[in-house]
Chains A and B, each alone.
Chain A
Amino acid sequence: MTTRTETVKHTRDSADARPMWQVVLVRPEVMTFALLVGAFIIASNLSPFFSDAQFILESSTYYVEYSIIALVLTLVIISGEIDLSPAAMMALSACVFAALYQAGLPIGLAMIASLATGVLMGLFNGILVVVFKLPSIIVTIGTLTLYRGLAQVLAGDRSIGKFPQWFNGIDYRLILDVPVPVIVFVIISIVLAAILGTTVVGRQIYQVGTSEIASIHAGIRVRRIKLGLFVAMGVASSIGGLLTASRLASVRYDMATGGELQMVLMVMLGGTYIFGGRGSILGTFLASWLLVIIATGMTVANIAITAQLIVMGALLIISIIATNAIYARTQR
């Protein structure tokens, strides 16, 4: 019985190559792109504003902070880990910045301190995961509570503001008609896509996520890569926090509460595999715009912000189901 099934298996060892059109078309990024086009068409029927690129660019500045972090989160999830603490890291690093500035530190130094806070928080997450071998999914729930709590201790329940005029309103600064945060987002997308797609480290990230044990045997410095990714999360969150501080011209401890949902949603909508090893920056890039259009579309259509919670939650679940289904089909 056993031998027979084994021989059958051997003949099936090299399955027919999938037709070219399937290889190109049946992939999650295409799904994301189709959804993006669909959402765009519906939204422009809803409101003429959506045919105006300027309007979309302006409304995107509310989400672009999350999008920047989601790009790095994509790498973390591809490597087989997850980080649920970025929203709390945004809040804490922004609160550190604001508190230091208010204490009289020059604003430049305060920004550097905020980035350093990001590095430290990411390092702490990374050490807990890499050195102490704790599952990232639950550790980052702990650190998310911890970081948010520290932000609350630092800022209390007041909002800290009164930044110099040049610091505020970065979302209104335009370069070639494009808001600065969006430019930051595009540049980081290109850099990360290049790293992921063309460098050795990038390919190693995929390998780590596909099989950690195999990559250790292959001599990949798994711990170093993962630690680096968690630190990168901290830095990206700190950048996101500073951008938000500039946009709102003030900082509160509850900045970006619940933002982790939107970031994970962007990564999942972009077709990154929740179990690691697959995914792309392009997908997350497209999904970020998809989310911008969905969220502003609902606001324009006068759908209450509360119903948007339902849509976001449902989208998250549907997108993982769809991505899993696509990968299950193409897995050989």
Chain B
Amino acid sequence: MSLITKFLSTLLHRREAGIAVMIVLLALVVGAIQPRFLTLETLRIIALAIPLILIAAMGQMMVLVARHVDLSIGSILAFSSIIAGIMFRDLPEVPIIISIIAAIACGAALGFVNGVIVTLFKLPSIIVTLGTLSLYRGLVFLVSGARQVDPQYIPRSLIEMSQTSPIFGIPWIVILAFVIALLTYFFLDHVRLGRQIYALGSNPVAAPLRGIKVVPLTILVFTMSGALAGLTGIIYASRFGYVNPGITGVGFEFTVIAAVVIGGVSINGGVGTVLGTVLGVILLGMVNVALPLLGVSAFWQDVIYGAVIVIALLIDKSVRDRSARALAAARSAA
């Protein structure tokens, strides 16, 4: 096999390649039907749809890699968002950056609580976070008095984050999202703690034997997921210009989980890359924008998300089965 074909075959056997191919195909098909899809304006809309999902997806991806699930991120997003909104409204003399930091800290604190409950009582994270999904949403209503933070209170400079651009017309929040993705990549691939998350997820029994401190690591993962959901809350306020306790972030967890599993992150832990997740988010963002352009009712969006989750799980399963068989064959050959 020549070097080039070998290179091509490794490239094609990566999970990310499949998603990239799907992205290109989707762009071509939708573009063929509706040429407006292949314009810069559409690209800008897609780019703006990405940051919200991408930042939270980085957190969810780490949680899934550690063999857990976090269903509460939609409520954490809302909580951080409403805290920031209330501070903007009631404490206008406080610098914006302080409010933003406070909101992210709130998200981290709620994530920390998730992690502590899961590890301290050895409970399945899905049930715990189903509980905190409701609990945190209740807190959102409680602190806000069930009142919306109206657009006039959201600072202009924050809203401009999603409108103005420092370079090439790419809005600030898009750049921020990709910086977060790069940092996550660096953390997961080049920091010992990040590698330990993979070790923990691929074999939770063996992890402590290798000297991994499972409890603090799990709590850290949930805390990071909470903090990133909190940051997403700020982006939400910037993007939509209001915070509503009953609307903000409802059902957001399903979108994020869909994006992450399309990106090839295995629900059985230990497998998943930042690149795959980024591509998964982009694919989902493209689908979002393509639907109205194709004249498909927005009602189909959830159907597509659900189908995408199920299909991604089936693909993941078949990939795992195949690699397990290959491993068994290699072992018996040796």
Interface residues of A (CB under 8 A from B): 82, 84, 128, 132-135, 137-139, 141-150, 152-153, 156-157, 258, 260-261, 264, 268, 274-275, 304, 306-317, 320-321, 324
A304 to B143, CA, bound (A): 13
A314 to B113, CA, bound (A): 12
Is the CB–CB distance between A128 and B124 below 8 Å?
A: no
When distances are taken between beta carbons in the complex, the residues of chain A under 8 Å from B141 are: 304, 306-307, 309
Is the CB–CB distance between A307 and B306 below 8 Å?
A: no
Closest to B141 in A: A306
Given A138-B69, A264-B127: A258 and B310 within 8 A (CB)? no
A146: which of B297, B299, B303 is its contact (CB, 8 Å)?
B303
Interface residues of B in 214-271 (CB under 8 A from A): 245, 254, 257-258, 261, 267-268
Closest to B114 in A: A317
Is the CB–CB distance between B123 and A324 below 8 Å?
A: yes
A138 to B316, CA, bound (A): 13
A153: which of B142, B299, B313 is its contact (CB, 8 Å)?
B299
Is the CB–CB distance between A320 and B127 below 8 Å?
A: yes
A317: which of B131, B261, B303 is its contact (CB, 8 Å)?
B131
A297 to B37, CA, bound (A): 54
A144 to B305, CA, bound (A): 10
Does B198 sit within 8 A of A, measured CB to CB? no
A306 to B268, CA, bound (A): 35
Is the CB–CB distance between B121 and A321 below 8 Å?
A: yes
Pick 20 A–B contacts, CB within 8 A, sort by A: A128-B314, A132-B314, A134-B314, A142-B307, A142-B309, A148-B306, A149-B299, A152-B299, A153-B299, A153-B300, A153-B303, A274-B127, A310-B135, A313-B134, A314-B135, A315-B131, A317-B128, A317-B132, A321-B123, A324-B121
When distances are taken between beta carbons in the complex, the residues of chain A under 8 Å from B137 are: 309, 313
Given A144-B306, A152-B302: A137 and B126 within 8 A (CB)? yes
Interface residues of B (CB under 8 A from A): 69, 71, 117, 121-124, 126-128, 130-139, 141-142, 146, 245, 254, 257-258, 261, 267-268, 297, 299-307, 309-310, 313-314, 317
When distances are taken between beta carbons in the complex, the residues of chain B under 8 Å from A275 are: 124
Distance in angstroms from B53 CB to nearest chain A CB is 15
Given A149-B301, A261-B130: A143 and B306 within 8 A (CB)? yes
- Return the 10 tightest CB-CB contacts between A and B, nearest first: A146-B306, A149-B302, A313-B135, A306-B141, A309-B138, A142-B309, A310-B138, A149-B303, A145-B306, A313-B134
Is the CB–CB distance between B310 and A128 below 8 Å?
A: yes
- Per DSSP, are chain A's interface residues mostly helix, strand or loop, or mixed? helix
When distances are taken between beta carbons in the complex, the residues of chain A under 8 Å from B317 are: 132-134
When distances are taken between beta carbons in the complex, the residues of chain B under 8 Å from A261 are: 130-131, 133-134
Given A138-B69, A316-B134, A317-B117: A310 and B306 within 8 A (CB)? no
A304 to B303, CA, bound (A): 33
When distances are taken between beta carbons in the complex, the residues of chain B under 8 Å from A307 are: 138, 141-142
When distances are taken between beta carbons in the complex, the residues of chain B under 8 Å from A138 are: 69, 126, 257, 261, 267, 309, 313
Distance in angstroms from B322 CB to nearest chain A CB is 14
Is the CB–CB distance between B134 and A312 below 8 Å?
A: yes
Given A146-B302, A306-B146, A324-B123: A313 and B309 within 8 A (CB)? no
Is the CB–CB distance between B121 and A309 below 8 Å?
A: no
Is the CB–CB distance between B299 and A139 below 8 Å?
A: no
A84 to B317, CA, bound (A): 20
Is the CB–CB distance between B133 and A149 below 8 Å?
A: no
Closest to A142 in B: B309
Distance in angstroms from A79 CB to nearest chain B CB is 16
Is the CB–CB distance between B309 and A141 below 8 Å?
A: yes
- Starting from the known contacts A137-B124, A310-B142, A313-B135, 6 additional A-B residue pairs (CB-CB under 8 Å) come to A128-B313, A134-B317, A141-B309, A145-B309, A146-B302, A147-B306
A225 to B141, CA, bound (A): 42
Is the CB–CB distance between A149 and B121 below 8 Å?
A: no
Closest to A146 in B: B306
When distances are taken between beta carbons in the complex, the residues of chain A under 8 Å from B304 are: 149
Is the CB–CB distance between A316 and B127 below 8 Å?
A: yes
A316 to B123, CA, bound (A): 12
Residue of A133, A138, A320 with most chain B CB atoms under a 10 A cut-off:
A138
When distances are taken between beta carbons in the complex, the residues of chain A under 8 Å from B303 are: 146, 149-150, 152-153
A132 to B87, CA, bound (A): 49
Closest to A152 in B: B299
Distance in angstroms from A91 CB to nearest chain B CB is 11
Distance in angstroms from A278 CB to nearest chain B CB is 15
Given A138-B267, A149-B299, A321-B123: A313 and B310 within 8 A (CB)? no
